[in-house]
A and B are shown apart, each in its own frame.
Chain A
Amino acid sequence: MVKTVTVKGIREGILFHLGDQNWETNYQALVALVKERQEFWRGAKVVLNAAEVEITSDQLLALKDELSQYDLTLWAVLGENSITQKSAQLLGLATRINRPEKNEMTELEPIYHQGETAIYFNKTLRSGYHIEYDGHVVIFGDVNPGAEIIASGSVLVWGKLRGLVHAGALGDESAVVCALDLQPTQLRIAEQIAITPKRHGKPQPEVACIRDGKVVAEIWNYKG
């Protein structure tokens, strides 16, 4: 059989490139590929590069259902065909993948400031949410238990921090973690790991950093 569909692993999951045959042929080939490697791909997110192939919304929905049987999530469809683009929008799928999640699309623009980058989240991160970012992470909202933030820079939480946080993940010991209520399940800075002690009394804004090779948390004092 002529190879119609090609696969590539990308940061966001798996990327399928369709060949220039019609949809039916491509669909069969794609499903065959998925079947072949279902164990390996289980749980992955799928991006479909349709190129010029025309796909109706019904066909796309059928594919989404089929993929979900193999525990794969179709989240983005790329391509130049206007009908395909419309179908993707109709199903609420992303049509660009330069940003990781469809629900984070408006929030993931990096801000360039004095050569450093940061991302800003204006929402509460719930259990199961995972952020990995090469830069600083700023959150306006809470970080609930079960959520994870891994940043090469510092992490600032304007809210309650109760999940797992790893600042300076690439080894930067000058990274800090601060929150209005600092109660992470586990806090890591560079190579150091700390568990938050039980707090007594009212929460106060705190800053955690590395001092003498150990993670310490101090009550934030704006007078310095």
Chain B
Amino acid sequence: MPAKVVTVTSGKGGVGKTTATANIAAALALQNYKVVCIDADIGLRNLDVVLGLENRIVYDLVDIIEGRCRLRQAMIRDKRLPELYLIPAAQTRDKSAVSPSDMVRLCDEIKPDYDWILIDSPAGIERGFRNAIAAADIIVVVTNPEVSAVRDADRIIGLIEAEEKGPAQLIINRIKPDMVKKGDMLSPDDVLELLAVELLGLIPEDESVITSTNRGVPVVMDGKSRAGQAFRNIGQRLLGEKVPFIPIEESAGFFNQLSRMFRKGGG
């Protein structure tokens, strides 16, 4: 089966697109799928840092497109997850170095030999965004439970619908359960009511995301992290399994997590 292309986008910057891309990719790779991540944020690359692969970059996306290297030469293989590859963005160029049809051609070349392609989109609605969604089979919109991020997500979803690439699926990132309970933060229901799209995942605020990003180890590889569990669930849902959403009030007991992992391993 040719690879499915998943583009992670958001409109607003800083909501966790890159973190989500890295972790969904790692979650799928943990299930022994062959996964390629493409950083489409040319000029502002950081997926390599989050995956801990920045010191191994030789060639990048623009080198492939402009023919300075072969596809395989630019693909960096992750040592911890041998079926996870990264095509990094160029840091010294800008979005105009790539066109939407370049992205479609690149993905078509990758598709036959892999299971999943994850594309990390830049923020914004301009050229970079168009590049990122050009080849997408599934578009995942990441938002935070705050009014400005939701407004931008709404705009992005509208653009995706206009391009007939939809329906988009939604990840709500950085939910603070105690703030939601007090009514100080938009609840997932509030966000979904406005955006009216399918929910793919709810990620609680979790400090281990920051430490894992700094260390370059995706948080899904941390069995104790709540956010890691939420990303693993997203991976499962992309694979077509029905995983219940973790209720946001539930406290993250270690045994709770363990039993959930075992249940998942069994099913």
With A68-B130, A127-B152, A144-B194 known as contacts, the answer to whether A103 contacts B161 (CB < 8 A) is yes
A92 contacts the other chain (CB 8 A):
yes
Cβ distance B84 to chain A, nearest Cβ, rounded Å: 31
- Shortest Cβ distance from A128 into B: residue: B155
Q: Pick from B101, B161, B162 the residue with the most CB of A within 10 Å.
A: B162
A145 contacts the other chain (CB 8 A):
yes
Asked whether A128 lies within 8 Å of B159 as measured between CB atoms, the reply is yes
With beta carbons under 8 angstroms apart, the residue of B101, B151, B152, B164 that contacts A65 is: B101
What sequence of 0s and 1s flags, for each residue 144-183 of chain B, a beta carbon within 8 Å of any chain A beta carbon?
Answer: 0000000110110111011010000000000000000000
With A65-B99, A124-B196 known as contacts, the answer to whether A92 contacts B154 (CB < 8 A) is no
Cβ distance B2 to chain A, nearest Cβ, rounded Å: 21
- Shortest Cβ distance from B96 into A: residue: A69
A61 contacts the other chain (CB 8 A):
yes
A146 contacts the other chain (CB 8 A):
yes
With beta carbons under 8 angstroms apart, the residue of A68, A103, A126, A142 that contacts B164 is: A103
A129 contacts the other chain (CB 8 A):
yes
With beta carbons under 8 angstroms apart, the residue of B99, B151, B152, B194 that contacts A68 is: B99
Q: Pick from A61, A129, A144 the residue with the most CB of B within 10 Å.
A: A144
A71 contacts the other chain (CB 8 A):
yes
Cα distance, A125 to B158, chains bound together (Å)? 8
Please tell me the number of chain B residues within 8 Å of chain A, measured between CB atoms: 19
Q: Which residues of B contact A127 (CB under 8 A)?
A: 151-152, 154-155, 158
Please tell me the number of chain A residues within 8 Å of chain B, measured between CB atoms: 19
What sequence of 0s and 1s flags, for each residue 124-143 of chain A, a beta carbon within 8 Å of any chain B beta carbon?
Answer: 11111100000000000010
Cα distance, A125 to B100, chains bound together (Å)? 26
Asked whether B157 lies within 8 Å of A126 as measured between CB atoms, the reply is yes
- Shortest Cβ distance from A145 into B: residue: B151
Asked whether B154 lies within 8 Å of A61 as measured between CB atoms, the reply is no
Cα distance, A124 to B197, chains bound together (Å)? 11
Show the binding face of A for B, using Cβ within 8 Å: 61, 65, 68-69, 71, 92, 101, 103, 124-129, 142, 144-146, 162
- Listed A/B pairs (14) with beta-carbon separation below 8 Å: A68-B100, A68-B127, A69-B96, A69-B127, A103-B161, A103-B162, A103-B164, A124-B196, A126-B154, A128-B154, A142-B194, A144-B154, A145-B154, A162-B194
